[in-house]
Amino acid sequence: MKNSEVLLSRADFWRYSYITYAIDDVAPASLTLQDRFGVNVNLIMLLCWCLQEGVILTLTQCQQLIECVEDSEHQLKAHRHKRHAAKPKEDEVSARYDDLKAEELELEKAQQALILAQFNQFDVSYLPKEAAVGGNVFNASIAAFINAYALREAPQARLLLSAIIKALP
């Protein structure tokens, strides 16, 4: 059975991602996972939201999410490369760099829309509400995510992911 309502809206997910990304070491850990292990930061943010809401993602669902952003991820990587190449020196100001940053945020928003279009079609299970936040119940979404990105044999990646999860309120 598919969901008859939207689980997560674009605006809510963007706001959630913005707030979560700003927490402690979430941004640096997410970027390291992205750069060293090929993990999509928007999907890290979705995983965090799922953990906080008690939503359980399966391995198949994680794989489908990764697949649905494949093309946009190539576009984002190319854009990031262009932005990094345009980064000004310490004392310089660059309108071009600022424009590229703004464009990258729009690409990120577009990618989130793709993620949500797929995610909101899933038939998901939930942990009991009391177990979702601060409970001692393991959310299988973590294992699904780790397996979808083949991180089982990457202890540094698992430590980074653990740090992000521990930083969640």
114 close to 69: Cβ distance less than 8 angstroms: yes
Assigned token pair, 37: 């292990």
pLDDT of residue 2: 43
Q: What is the pTM of this model?
A: 0.91
123 close to 37: Cβ distance less than 8 angstroms: no
Mean pLDDT by 10 residues, the chain (169 residues): 68 97 96 97 97 94 98 95 86 84 96 97 85 70 97 97 94
Assigned token pair, 146: 């780790």
pLDDT of residue 55: 93
